[in-house]
């Protein structure tokens, strides 16, 4: 697959994987992207996951048609992108690694060698000439690992962005970019919004014709749309109008309360109500919705005088990914000792820039006229 006349895609698709990074469901598989820039000198951009080394090296050999690469640019040392560095260096004994100083240290930790005598260490603003193509390197620490660099090809105006602008899903399956890119972003980079914003500011004045990430499709049109979403996400701004509801229910009464709240919100004109059953639905999608919308309602039964365990896990996920700048409301159920709202509120109050919405709805077992009226009052407060 040609990206430009001189840049060729040599990555692979993975349909064997069930959980990416051991936690994210990937029903449409994953792509591990790699590229080769063919000029007077040849530079390969990153490796792929260990199981696909032979396929990747075969793709590279086909693209080069008898030539040998001069450089392997290691932008990100996470093993799904670096696991075949050793095979590459053995296959091409004259090639050099190009990476950050931190990447050399991490290569040594992962693979027992840093190839120090066969490496070129680069930093912010370093350049590498391949002939007519010049690669300029952009330091991107903590997007989302400390060693990350990005690369800008001055000739073809292509930005190689490591894990940024990536998404879940193999390239041979078409699906919605924003949905899986959003889930990937908040799951993997969500904690590092400040660092992502910093890198976006670095590339703001570059002329970019294409974005080539390490996962997901190459982006060659409507780049303002993708960059705009990244600006919104990294600033923890609200992307879409609506309310996300995350709930835990045991015997169905709490779920019934959630359905009533959703009905009241929709009847009042709420443009979108996104509901997540934390015991059954993908936790990463629930986190995604919490970040997407401006208002979050947490709904839990009381369990051992606390919130339900899945709710505790969900709020921990939000905290781990720097959830902030949102409105949050609470609904609790407790037949004999309702206490979930107090427990949820205590954890949420520790988050940054959270506006708590009243009233707190308390249900004692099944819905009754009082709790129904509380839910109606909450819906009015959320819409107002």
**8 A C-beta contact, residue 293 and residue 244:** yes
pLDDT at 120 over 80: yes
Separation between Cα atoms, residue 106 and residue 82, nearest integer Å: 10
- 3-class SS of residue 78: coil
Separation between Cα atoms, residue 123 and residue 137, nearest integer Å: 7
pLDDT of residue 114: 82
**For the residues 356-383, what does the mean pLDDT come to?**
96
Count of CB atoms situated within 10 Å of the CB of 206: 13
- What are the tens digits of pLDDT across the range 272-322? 999 999 999 999 999 999 999 999 999 999 999 999 999 999 999 999 999
For the chain, domain boundaries: 7-234, 240-383
**8 A C-beta contact, residue 214 and residue 162:** yes
Angle (CA) 347 348 353, round 5°: 140
Nearest to 306 by CA among 271, 332, 272: 332
Fold assignment, 240-383 = Rossmann fold (3.40.50)
**8 A C-beta contact, residue 244 and residue 292:** yes
Give the contacts of 11 (CB within 8 A, at least 6 positions apart).
31, 32, 33, 34, 35, 48, 56, 59, 171
- CATH among 3.60.15.10, 1.20.210.10, 1.25.40.10, 3.90.1300.10 for 7-234: 3.60.15.10
Cα–Cα distances in angstroms (integers) from residue 89 to residues 9, 84, 86, 118, 326, in the given order = 20, 9, 5, 9, 48
β-partners of residue 120 are 98
- What are the tens digits of pLDDT across the range 50-90? 999 999 999 999 999 999 999 999 999 999 999 999 999 99
pLDDT at 384 over 90: no
- What are the tens digits of pLDDT across the range 124-158? 999 999 999 999 999 999 999 999 999 999 999 99
Stretch (H or E) spanning 13: strand 12-14
Separation between Cα atoms, residue 224 and residue 27, nearest integer Å: 28
Residue whose pair of structure tokens reads 């004045």 in the numeric block: 205
Average pLDDT over the chain, rounded to whole? 96
- What are the tens digits of pLDDT across the range 234-284? 999 999 999 999 999 999 999 999 999 999 999 999 999 999 999 999 999
Count of CB atoms situated within 10 Å of the CB of 67: 12
């Amino acid at each position: 697959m040609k990206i430009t006349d001189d840049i060729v895609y040599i990555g692979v698709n993975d349909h064997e994987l069930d959980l990416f990074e051991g936690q994210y469901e990937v029903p449409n598989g994953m792509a591990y992207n790699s590229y080769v820039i063919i000029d007077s000198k040849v530079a390969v951009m990153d490796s792929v996951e260990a199981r696909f080394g032979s396929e990747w090296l075969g793709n590279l050999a086909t693209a080069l048609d008898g030539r040998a690469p001069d450089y392997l640019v290691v932008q990100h040392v996470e093993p799904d992108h670096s696991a075949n560095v050793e095979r590459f260096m053995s296959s091409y004994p004259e090639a050099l690694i190009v990476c950050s100083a931190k990447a050399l240290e991490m290569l040594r930790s992962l693979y027992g060698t840093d190839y120090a005598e066969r490496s070129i260490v680069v930093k912010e603003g370093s350049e590498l000439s391949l002939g007519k193509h010049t690669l300029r390197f952009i330091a991107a620490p903590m997007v989302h690992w400390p060693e990350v660099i990005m690369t800008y090809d001055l000739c073809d105006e292509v930005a190689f962005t490591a894990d940024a602008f990536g998404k879940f899903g193999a390239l041979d399956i078409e699906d919605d970019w924003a949905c899986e890119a959003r889930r990937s972003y908040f799951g993997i980079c969500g904690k590092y919004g400040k660092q992502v914003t910093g890198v976006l500011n670095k590339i703001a004045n570059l002329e970019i014709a294409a974005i080539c990430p390490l996962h997901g499709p190459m982006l060659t049109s409507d780049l303002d749309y993708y960059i705009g979403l990244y600006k919104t996400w990294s600033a923890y701004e609200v992307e879409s109008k609506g309310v996300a509801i995350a709930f835990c229910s045991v015997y169905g009464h709490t779920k019934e309360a959630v359905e009533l709240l959703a009905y009241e919100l929709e009847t009042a004109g709420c443009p979108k109500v996104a509901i997540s059953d934390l015991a059954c639905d993908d936790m990463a999608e629930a986190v995604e919705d919490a970040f997407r919308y401006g208002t979050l309602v947490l709904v839990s039964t009381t369990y051992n005088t606390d919130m339900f365990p899945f709710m505790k896990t969900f709020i921990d996920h939000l905290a781990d990914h720097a959830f902030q700048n949102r409105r949050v409301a609470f609904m609790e159920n407790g037949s004999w000792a309702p206490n979930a709202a107090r427990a949820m509120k205590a954890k949420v109050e520790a988050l940054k820039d959270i506006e708590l919405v009243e009233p707190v709805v308390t249900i004692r077992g099944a819905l009754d006229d009082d709790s129904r009226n509380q839910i109606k009052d909450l819906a009015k407060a959320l819409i107002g």
